[in-house]
Structure 1
């Protein structure tokens, strides 16, 4: 199926996290494949120069726009009366306004550019703002089950506002299982649920990895790439690395990334006596040269919706050690790679680091194949066909 399609990708804001990275990759891949791609950023904006010319970027503060006229009266009522009346319900009232404004945006977009074939809404913030937007072409992309509400009457009502009768794409089977389990407990049902992995630009990554790594390291090393935040649990990584060093690991450890935990992690490294072995390189626009030259990639997260960094490492021929935690990691590290999955504790992770360097695991190209852009685009095109087979009403807020 090679017909030209028109896509709208929606984000609350554009930053440097995994959701934003996955959205950029998908937008570029769709445009490269000849499709018409539109990206809407609802907060903060972004420059068109940040995306290829083939991707049309729209920056529209839907919340602010929706406060005009009677919308301002509604906004004041939400803040002063409705939200205080029911704790956590602010997004429900806001979505009534925002969904209507978004529907007007979609209508104007189609008037100018033509019919949209698929609308992908990504991230909890976008879900909350557009909860009342209903269209058979619209899918919510779920990276993780965040914003869980308590299993009571109020919690069920809030959960229904986000998910009831919605079409949902989960970035892994692990996320899908967790979401459906949570929704079942809240007595909420989806209209449809599918798994769509985030795409990885394999060729681009491999080209980027050919650039020189500065600073360079002669000593063999392990590498970790990720935001330095609690969910990534680099504390466990450092403690496990210390154990591995005490048991004979001679490799250094490179940590690429930045975040709220960096200062404390650097102090922990010093306290553990690892300053001469652990190198904090900060955030790097191109981490791939270091990843390619590493003997193994190590991931210590408490949860990974999918684990894009693992796929990227495998695309560069670097074997991966990871904690066996909820999410999509087991869907990436398949087959023989299971032997490098560690229980989520320091001792087990240390043992797998040692195993990775003492018994190297050759990476197979087939392990990366399910996450390539061509495969993901083909699956998206199947979703557009599904929408065409159904009677599609005009976009409208409920």
Structure 2
């Protein structure tokens, strides 16, 4: 089958990494796979399989090249002043025309796609005016019913009505169903299909001991993700500080990632006097050696559509702790792993960190880790897509 995966850009981010992994997974299972990205930003990540064909559609550029498109953007900007967060929804009328045109050009050369999978709201919001039976929209996160203010019902209806929808976890699906039922939106279908993982690739990359990891010779606890409010790294730092003060924790804390909260996090580290034991390592193209060498990985998020970082840490053989937050974390933390779910307080998270460090080698955990990882294996995920949309 011929399949297209569509994502906003190829910057280094969780959604982008999943889009590349899904493209690789389809290709490995024998499908002719194309990865389409919509914004001309620096390419920081791409599929590992060279058979995946990349296409930049650069929607905004092609819209603005026409005089009418430029005028339309101005009108959308003006409308956004009066109707907050309406710009993307209105500008999509022009972007959808460009997407349709570029898609036809690709298909003329490569053949018609059997399935087109859009990853994330920020991606399919560019093309929502288009109706195509081959489209599948994937919700990567939990839903905020008030995101568009008083216009939420109207805008969510435009995005989701009569669509084939996929949610990446049961928690994400529960949130999505609550949203569409609240606004009386009818979807064509709503399925749960998680994100794929190539465990062989993860293991291979984790063995690549990059210099920055090798130079950090002291044992450490790892936090990894975008430095944004939803990931709640201040909570992790508070919990780490509490664990040092009350439980005698000796490991360093290493945080891998970039984002707009970096300065706030730096200031917090300084205010708590933790400069000698908490280290910000910035964005890393290969995060897997950081997982592999860590004594523990901690997820402190306020919510997670799934929690891919937990899966990656477990695949690297590293113990994990996570906040018991809305979304898909509960799909991953099964069996004895549920013992390491914390409330969103420094005291609870610190307690679970110490528990996980003490019980890292408990034999009973191995079976539950294997069970957790099995449901996110790439071959299983591809088969679910094919069974749902290609049979």
Matched, 1:232 2:236: no
**How far apart are 1:326 and its partner, in Å?**
0.6
Distance 1:268 1:176, change over 3 A: same
Range 67-76 or range 298-307, more displaced = 67-76
What's the TM-score, normalizing by structure 2?
0.89
Structure 2, unpaired ranges of 5+: none
User: How much has 1:82 moved relative to structure 2?
Assistant: 5.8
Match of 1:350 in 2: 350
Counterpart CA distance in 2 for 1:285 and 1:227 is 13
Per-residue CA deviation, residues 257-301 of structure 1 (Å, 9 max, x unaligned), is: 222222332332232222222222222222322311222211111
Say if 1:73 and 1:244 are closer, same or farther in 2 by CA, change over 3 A.
closer
Rounded Cα–Cα distance in structure 1 between residues aligned with 2:152 and 2:229: 26
Q: Indicate whether 1:370 and 2:369 are aligned.
A: no
For residues 286-365 of structure 1, what are the structure 2 equivalents within 5 Å? 286-360=286-360, 361=362, 362-363=365-366, 364-365=369-370
Q: CA deviation at 1:153?
A: 6.8
Quote the RMSD (CA, aligned, Å).
2.6
Deviation at 1:41, TM superposition (A): 1.5
For 1:38, the equivalent position in structure 2 comes to 34
> C-alpha separation between the residues in 2 aligned to 1:375 and 1:35?
15
Instruction: Provide structure 1 residue ranges, at least 5 long, that are not aligned to the other structure.
Output: 387-398
Q: How far apart are 1:218 and its partner, in Å? A: 4.1
**Contact 2:11-2:42 within 8 A present in 1 as well:** no
For residue 7 of structure 2, the aligned residue among 5, 11, 22 is: 11
5 Å-filtered alignment, 1:1-398, equals: 5-44=1-40, 50-51=46-47, 52-66=49-63, 71-72=68-69, 75=72, 78-79=75-76, 86-145=83-142, 148-149=145-146, 154-214=151-211, 215-246=214-245, 247-360=247-360, 361=362, 362-363=365-366, 364-386=369-391
* SS in structure 2 at match of 1:43: coil
Contact 1:254 1:280 in 2 (8 A): yes
Deviations 1:107-139 (A, max 9, x none): 332222122111011222322221111111101
The number of equivalent residue pairs is 382
Q: Which secondary structure does the structure 2 equivalent of 1:286 belong to?
A: coil
Bigger CA drift: 247-256 or 43-52? 43-52
**Deviation larger for 85-94 or 290-299:** 85-94
Deviation string 1:309-328 (CA, Å, 9 cap, x unpaired) is: 10011101111101000111
In structure 2, the partner of 1:392 is: none
Evaluate the alpha carbon distance shift between residue 48 and residue 91 of structure 1 in structure 2; reply closer, same or farther with a 3 A threshold. closer
For the Cα contact (< 8 Å) 1:48–1:57, is it kept in 2?
Answer: no
Corresponding residue SS for 1:355 = helix
